[in-house]
Chain A
């Protein structure tokens, strides 16, 4: 006969077994060890605003992918360090990621200066390297596992301004002269060099071609000097503080050019858009994504809703149209490659990334042989009907009309600029 004590012990043991079995059955999908993605990011220093926004977007991707069961059945973890927008900090960070943290995959920081120092380290380990907004970095390294998400096209330096000059050629009366002005710094000089090439190829006469120091704050003398040459087109390659200064000076001076804009960084950010308000009207400038119906890619609105919620109170771009969708997309590319190849084999991933057209929140992405987009999608958009002191107006369509490329066109140009 079974004693009461024995029965109680058996019951406890059975209960424990059942609990253990139940735990095993209902255990989270992630029994496997996490899959680590490593990167450095500009979270402080000059590019911190953009870097923090990129990180928010990347964290949204991580949450989304983990909700779907992770990658290869493993939960995704980020290992990242702040590079403080200092190139010298990048090599130690990537060597630590690879040698100490033993990450499975790496992606880049934001911006050319922070991407380039990681290249030799990544190349030595033969890793795929999705990168975020580097301008023509691979022109020097020629690394066949480099994949850059900014839609600057196979020849980034010239593709950047191609749309501006192609639009100008279509106008009537046809413009003849152009002024090119740029900040004396990395991106702006490259963009201006491309603009110079495109202008000459299109047969425009360059009547003004000068640079200004990045520390410039008073742009009126520059705009007056440009105005003295009476150019039909004014192509500006500048960083955010200069872009604001140039737009304000152009309005103060009453610039009479027929097209004004081109390569001004900053006019894509909601805070600057609100600050400049109607002064932006009719400016034709580059952009990468705007909330026009032609660019309503699957998932982009849902992503932006999550981003805008997460960005509240963090001092980053509240609308997040410029960089964040691409920060999400460069991880989507990696996600699809890993899922499709069911592997972390870097050779297989690279081969897949070269041959595939990826469906992302920024549309279809196909990489060319140099790791840049196979076809440029640098948009030329025109600000229209902008009202003062209203940031919300930029969240919807109708304020930045897509003029170029034709495949994404959402309206016609208002020409000339200063009418």
Chain B
């Protein structure tokens, strides 16, 4: 399942969604808001998405992961809006029969999300703000 939401991410609920009796491994990756960027203190992050395309690009990534690993169940949840330090920005959950596939699929999904999904984050510092990756 793919979700783009303004609400806080519920890890226990996400895990319940991907549990399967055939699964011997469940990997859950959490991307969380860090309090600094290259030692510059961050106050909060502001996420923005091109909703319809963000969802379709995340679905493409999930479909592609499905063809590469024997995934039993998965969930991808991405936040948008303002996030405070320590909040979960993204959750990837993958259930497979064996752990190697779960680790690899989970890593592939988060790495590819960072490359192709039209979601943007702005770091808000105490003395300024900056869209991440935007400048050369």
Q: Please indicate whether A and B come from the same complex rather than being unrelated chains.
A: no
